[in-house]
A and B are shown apart, each in its own frame.
Chain A
Amino acid sequence: MTVQISPPSVADDKIGRPGLGLALTAILIVFYFGFVGLGAFAPAVLARPLVEGGTVTIAFAYGLFVIALGVALTGIYVLVANRAGVR
């Protein structure tokens, strides 16, 4: 049977770019495992309130930051890869 869907185009030849992918992966790993690591080894840091006397802790801010970082890094990757594909 034919399982070939959407054959690779010329732009697809550039399957390299491992540098960019690996760099972005490293950034995400550092910040995400920073979060997990703080929770595991220094929970007091995450338990501090974000604003003095407030209820929202640093844990919430850091968690949301990791979520936003995922979108931002994906956006950077797609922009760079699609630019390279057009050229």
Chain B
Amino acid sequence: MTVSASRRALAGLAALATALAPAPALAQTGAAGGLNLTAIALFTTVVVGTLFITYRAAKRTQSASDFYTAGGRITGFQNGLAIAGDFISAGAFLGLAGLVYGNGFDGLIYAVGYTTGLPIVVFLMAERLRALGRFTFTDVACTRLQEKPIRIFAASASLVVIAFYLIAQMVGGGQLIRLLLGLDYLYAQFIVGILMICYVLFGGMVATTWVQITKAVLFLIGGTVIALLVMGHFGFDYGALLRQAVSRHPRGEAILTPQFLSRDPVSAISLGLALMFGTAGLPHILMRFFTVPDARAARVSVFWASVWMNYFFALVFVIGFGALALVAKNPAYVNAAGGLIGGGNMAAIHLSHAVGGDLMLGFISAVAFATILAVVAGLTLAGATAVSHDLYASVFRRAGASEASEVRVSRYATVILGIVAIGLGIAFQNQNVAYMVSLAFSVACSSTLPLLILVLYWPGLTTRGAVAGGCVGLGTALLFTVLGRPVWVGVLGYATPIFPIDPPTIVTMPLAFLVCYVVSVTDRSPQARIDHQRSASIGRTAPPVPAAAE
């Protein structure tokens, strides 16, 4: 697609978004009853603004490396904000506030868990990944192991993880649009899906990086303002805030301390594992370490990322309980049955209206929506990369794949992923989004993470061991998720799950490591000898001369 064609299409899309916003014909009401024109106007402005950034960035997307990793031109501080932006997703903000609203401190377990993921990536992997000079986890694995089977496995695992993560964002985005514009959930899903496809198609990673930065800054400001307003409401006395929250929740004082951990300790530790180590297996997070010029900038960027991200998760302590204190039992925000209008993920959005009126509602909705679009775009891009770079260019069309055809396949993959995302968003529409994110983490923990750790740290790993362990981990994680609470009870509607541990990480992650190990040490194939030779020559001491021009 030529740049001018994409420019025209994007301008058309922006016009469409503007045209759509003021004319929602369907029944449901906005947050405060009736359509909220102030909020919608502000919302449209911010969303069109981010589209404009994408459009500007599109003009600079020249080569495949621009499309994937912003050409390595982003500074450390900027990249730190972008990494934080990846984490401060709809899952974080809407989902966590919703979890705290529903379950009290149990929701904060997720908030605390999310903050432990990035440090693990930094301490154990970032350095080694960069030193290998490869920009997806698959490329790293291929420096040591046989390319074809590894790429096929890695692309499949990435796509599954991305699918779970996408569900969370799509559900959050759909509920938000439904609440704000009064549209039917189905139409809301299509709007989210189409906008997301356009982001990636016309901008690539440059756009998603800049959108992430813009949105991270807006979100940090918005979150801070809401937290300050909430605290101001209670005379900056956190104890007073909690007292009111306790009075509004049916379980009373129990919400001030973790509950489900002691009810099901095995699942608790399993969840802890998934939250802590899952991040390291997320494909779209790993890509970010390659958008800065050098290792020093990469380290600086992760420091800033951890500062902003952890600050944001700390804000959830105020925002989550603030929603409970100010939104629960308020007839403007809950329906006759006592549930939140617009669904359980909308607690933070209602809170923004409760403390800041229509303007704050519009602003926070817009930033949350831009967040969702950007995270979804980043995910889709990672998925499209898996298809075009791992499957198409390296496996199926090895000899003849030109850079242009790879970018073209990547664009087709983006469209298909967008359509799949819309379907999944509709299937999982009643799930809490922070919970869905934890499922993505659990799959990542059991499939990509064991491979990555072993490739970086254990020279004995062979191709056969890696593929066997990875497939067992991926397969069992997926199977137990379907047979466990999330799908068996949540989507299919059965009363009790077949597999009791939710998430299944505590079983599937050690299993993946074990299979990798056992198959590797018993592997006597000719390929195993090649693997050992290659790891002896590159693996541990110096970075290899990167085999460019593949």
B232 is an interface residue with CB less than 8 A from chain A: no
Query: Measured between C-beta atoms, what is the minimum distance from A17 to chain B in Å?
Result: 7
Within 28-69 of A, Cβ neighbours of B (below 8 Å) are at 28-29, 32-33, 35-37, 39-41, 43, 46-47, 54-57, 59-60, 63-64, 66-68
Q: Are A3 and B123 in contact (CB under 8 A)?
A: no
A6-B290, A64-B317, A78-B300 known; A40 and B109 CB under 8 Å? no
Q: Judge whether B124 and A21 touch: CB under 8 Å.
A: yes
Determine if A9 and B294 form an interchain contact, defined as CB atoms under 8 angstroms apart: yes
Does A55 contact B261, Cβ atoms closer than 8 Å? Answer: no
B437 at the interface (CB under 8 A from A): no
A-binding segment of B31-39, B126-134, B478-486: B126-134
A40 to B401, CA, bound (A): 53
- Chain A residues with CB under 8 Å of B71's CB are 5
Task: For B307, give the chain A residue with the smallest CB separation.
Answer: A71
* Contact assessment for B72 and A5 in the assembled complex, using a CB-CB cutoff below 8 Å: yes
A39 to B293, CA, bound (A): 43
Chain A CB within 8 A of B246 CB: yes
By a CB distance below 8 angstroms, the chain B residues around A82 are 296, 299-300
Q: Which residues of B contact A60 (CB under 8 A)?
A: 105, 108, 256, 317
Q: Are B128's CB and A15's CB within 8 A?
A: yes
Q: List 13 A-B contacts (CB under 8 A).
A: A5-B71, A5-B290, A13-B131, A15-B128, A28-B119, A33-B272, A36-B268, A43-B257, A56-B239, A63-B105, A63-B108, A74-B302, A74-B303
Contacts of B516 in A (CB 8 A): none
Contact A39 B262 (CB under 8 A): yes
Complex-state Cα separation, A3 to B134, whole angstroms: 7
**Residues in A neighbouring B113, C-beta threshold 8 A:** 32
Interface members, chain B 300-317 (any A CB < 8 Å): 300, 302-303, 306-307, 310, 313-314, 317
B130 contacts A8, CB within 8 Å? yes
> Digit string of B362-406 for contact with A (CB within 8 Å is 1, else 0)?
000000000000000000000000000100010000000111001
Number of interface residues of B (CB under 8 A): 77
Q: How far is the CB of B463 from chain A (nearest CB, A)?
A: 21
Which residues on A sit within 8 Å (CB–CB) of B310?
67-68, 70-71
Residues A5 and B69 in contact in the complex (CB < 8 Å), given A36-B261, A70-B310, A71-B310:
yes
Chain A: minimal CB distance from B150 (Å): 15
In the bound complex, CA of A44 to CA of B69 (Å): 48
Is B292 an interface position by the 8 A CB rule?
yes
Q: Which residues of A contact B (CB under 8 A)?
A: 1-9, 11-13, 15, 17-18, 20-22, 24-25, 28-29, 32-33, 35-37, 39-41, 43, 46-47, 54-57, 59-60, 63-64, 66-68, 70-71, 73-75, 77-78, 81-82, 85
Q: Establish whether residues A56 and B242, one from each chain, have CB atoms under 8 Å apart when the complex forms.
A: yes
Q: Chain A residues near B401 (CB, 8 Å)?
A: 1
Among A5, A35, A37, point to the contact of B112 (Cβ < 8 A).
A35
Neighbour of A78 across the interface among B116, B130, B269, B299, CB < 8 A: B299
CA distance A41 to B269 in the complex (A): 11
Contact with A along B53-89 (1 / 0, CB 8 A): 0000000000011001101100000000000000000
Q: Are the CB atoms of B299 and A81 closer together than 8 Å?
A: yes
Given known pairs A1-B549, A8-B131, the reply for A73 and B119 (CB within 8 Å) is yes
Q: Which chain A positions have C-beta within 8 A of B134?
A: 3
| Docked CA distance A5–B293 (Å) | 8
User: How far in angstroms is the closest Cβ of chain B from A24?
Assistant: 5
Chain A nearest Cβ from B504, distance in angstroms = 17
Q: Is the CB of A77 within 8 A of B122?
A: yes
Q: Say if the beta carbon of B238 comes within 8 Å of chain A.
A: yes
> Does B111 lie at the interface of the complex (its beta carbon under 8 Å from any beta carbon of A)?
yes
Within 8 A of A (CB), among B270-300: 271-272, 276, 290-296, 299-300
Once bound together, how far apart are the Cα atoms of A37 and B258, in whole Å? 11
Q: How far is the CB of B493 from chain A (nearest CB, A)?
A: 29
Asked if B105 and A55 make an inter-chain contact with CB atoms under 8 angstroms apart, the answer reads: no
- A15 in contact with B131 (CB, 8 Å): yes
Interchain CB contact under 8 A, A8 and B133: yes
Partner among A12, A47, A63, A73 whose Cβ is within 8 Å of the Cβ of B543: A12
B272 A66 Cβ-Cβ under 8 A: no
For A64, the closest partner residue in chain B by CB is B314
List the A residue with the shortest CB-CB distance to B402. A1
B488 at the interface (CB under 8 A from A): no
| Chain A residue contacts of B108, Cβ below 8 A | 59-60, 63
**Binary interface encoding of chain B residues 516-550 relative to chain A, with 1 for a CB under 8 A from any of its CBs, else 0:** 00000000000000000000000000110010111
Q: Do the beta carbons of B393 and A1 come within 8 Å of each other?
A: yes
Taking CB as reference atom, which chain B residue is nearest A42? B262
Q: Which residues of A contact B338 (CB under 8 A)?
A: none
Selected contact of A55 from candidates B69, B135, B256, CB within 8 Å: B256
A2–B68 Cα distance when bound, in Å, is 11
- Whether B116 and A28, one on each chain, are in contact in the complex, defined by CB atoms closer than 8 angstroms, is yes
**A3, A32, A43, A77: the one within 8 Å of B135 (CB):** A3
| B243 within 8 A of partner (CB) | yes
Which B residues are in CB contact (< 8 Å) with A59? 105, 108, 256-258
Bound together, the chains give a CA A40 to CA B313 distance in angstroms of: 22
